[in-house]
């Protein structure tokens, strides 16, 4: 059994967690910065990086204190090393290197996407490899076959916006606060998803890729027309995204023998998205796993867990590990 300290600061959440390789979360904390970014309608990289410098060290102290653990007691320090907003990425990575250096512990430089990809295994011990992963977050929209630790085959990606980005842009057009996903989900409960005609880009196309830019433009026109209630636009938009996710994932399932479908990333926190993909998996006779909402949006438990999986597999990194803005899985 090993104990891993995980650090995350690649976007607008500062997060710290202590996780054991036998799936116990000893303590964790996530501190968002929504209030700082809200006036700008999206994440401002420079503001995010500066906020991480202020928040992260205190969170590390809080989490260690809560678990009554010292850095000397952990087996490795795992820090997100990318992909993400580079100023932010550098904060957790350098903090992790400092702790690893001071306590003479190994460093695990974690790919944030691998954190999302392996997160379901933290809470679902029965989930073995391989599985088909729909990774839907603010920065990414991909279908991957997860074959093992560090062994990923990408089947599809988005040709323009990510699904979460589409939620955020649609929310902005509707005058809803950032982050847009939860705001749209709430407003959609009061709307009719069948009323506003919106496109389903790439639906039925042979490659399982995604596209959401046309959908955003259609929402813009629907808002400008003044013909529709915001709740109906929100519900119709959410349904259009779900139809795309289901159709594209179905196409990927046709190409994968993986026995289970897994959904992860911030958009996987959406209840309607979860339900639709669970139904798809059931209709195809595949297993289904989705982490709880708090584990779908950015957090450090998933980084510590990916660190634990890598550490147990003997995969550690040097103190020269680079911070990467781009880092495909």
Contacts with ligand KG4, residue ranges (CB under 6 A): 11, 137-139, 164-165, 167-168, 179-182, 185, 265-267, 269-270, 297-298
8: contact with Zn ion by CB under 5 A: no
Q: What is the dihedral of CA 266, 81, 49, 166, to 10 degrees?
A: -30
Out of Zn ion, ligand KG4, none, what residue 181 binds, judged by CB under 5 to 8 A for its kind, is: ligand KG4
* Residue 137 within binding range of Zn ion, rule CB under 5 A: yes
Residue 112, marked binder = yes
Q: Which two tokens stand for residue 133?
A: 């992963």
Position 158 contacts Zn ion (CB under 5 A): no
Q: Is 3 annotated as a binding residue?
A: no
Establish if 33 lies at the interface with Zn ion (CB under 5 A).
Answer: no
DSSP state of 150: T
From 46-54, 125-133, 231-239, 298-306, give the range in contact with Zn ion by CB under 5 A. 298-306
Residue 48 Cβ vs ligand KG4, minimum distance, rounded to whole Å: 12
- Candidates 179, 154, 157; CA nearest to 33 is 179
Rounded-to-integer distance, Cα 42 and Cα 85, Å = 13
- What CA dihedral angle connects 302, 303, 309 and 313, to 10 degrees? 170
298 assigned binding-site residue: yes
Please tell me the distance from the alpha carbon of residue 25 to that of residue 41, in angstroms, as a whole number.
33
Does 70 belong to an annotated binding site?
no
Is 135 known to sit in a ligand binding site? yes
DSSP H helical segments within 260-322, as ranges? 271-283, 293-296, 301-312
**Residue 185, interface with Zn ion (CB under 5 A)?**
no
298 binds Zn ion (CB under 5 A): yes
Residues 6+ apart with CB under 8 A from 54: none
Smallest gap from residue 11 Cβ to ligand KG4 (A): 5
CB of 112 to Zn ion, least distance (A): 6
- For the CB of residue 123, give the shortest distance to ligand KG4 in the complex, in Å: 16
The Cα–Cα gap between 202 and 284 comes to 21
Is 136 marked as binding a ligand? yes
**Which residue number, 6 or 106, has a Cβ lying nearer to ligand KG4?**
6
Minimum distance, C-beta of residue 113 to ligand KG4, in the bound complex (Å): 8
Q: How far is the CB of 168 from ligand KG4 (least distance, A)?
A: 5
Q: 180-188 and 163-173 are packed helices; what angle lies between their axes, rounded to 10 degrees?
A: 70
| Closest to 135 measured CA to CA, from 110, 153, 108, 109 | 153
Backbone dihedral region for residue 202 (phi beyond 0: left; psi -120 to 50: alpha; all else: beta): left
Nearer to Zn ion, 185 or 298 (CB): 298
Q: Is 137 annotated as a binding residue?
A: yes
d(CA 247, CA 243): 6
Q: Which residues are annotated as a binding site for Fe cation?
A: 112, 116, 298
Q: Which residues are annotated as a binding site for substrate?
A: 135-139, 168, 181, 185, 270
Residues that bind Zn ion (CB under 5 A): 137, 298
């Amino acid at each position: 059994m090993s104990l891993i300290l995980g650090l995350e600061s690649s976007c607008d959440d500062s997060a710290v967690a202590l996780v054991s390789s036998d799936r116990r979360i000893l303590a964790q904390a996530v501190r968002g910065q929504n209030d700082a970014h809200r006036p700008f309608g999206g994440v401002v990289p420079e503001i995010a990086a500066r906020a991480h410098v202020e928040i992260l060290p205190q969170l590390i102290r809080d989490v260690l204190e809560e678990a009554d653990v010292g850095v000397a007691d952990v087996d490795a320090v795992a820090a997100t090393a990318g992909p993400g907003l580079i100023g932010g990425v550098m904060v957790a990575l350098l903090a992790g290197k400092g702790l690893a250096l001071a306590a003479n512990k190994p460093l695990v430089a974690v790919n944030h996407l691998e954190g999302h990809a392996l997160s379901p295994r933290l809470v679902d011990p029965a989930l073995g490899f391989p599985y088909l992963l729909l990774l839907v977050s603010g920065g990414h929209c991909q279908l991957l076959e997860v074959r093992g630790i560090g062994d990923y085959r990408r089947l599809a990606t988005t040709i323009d916006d990510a699904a979460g980005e589409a939620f955020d842009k649609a929310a902005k057009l509707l005058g809803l606060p950032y982050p847009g996903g939860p705001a749209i989900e709430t407003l959609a409960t009061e709307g009719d998803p069948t009323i506003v005609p919106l496109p389903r880009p790439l639906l039925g196309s042979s490659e399982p890729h995604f596209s959401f830019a046309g959908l955003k433009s259609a929402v813009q026109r629907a808002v400008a027309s003044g013909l529709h209630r915001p709740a109906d636009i929100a519900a119709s938009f959410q349904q259009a995204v779900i139809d795309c996710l289901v159709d594209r994932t179905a196409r990927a399932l046709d190409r994968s023998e993986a026995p289970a479908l897994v959904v992860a990333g911030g958009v996987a926190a959406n209840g309607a998205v979860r339900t639709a993909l669970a139904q798809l998996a059931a209709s195809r006779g595949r297993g289904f796993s989705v982490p709880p909402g708090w584990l779908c949006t950015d957090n450090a438990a998933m980084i510590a867990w990916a660190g634990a999986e890598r550490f147990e597999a003997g995969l550690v990194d040097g103190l020269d590990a680079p911070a990467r803005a781009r880092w495909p899985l």
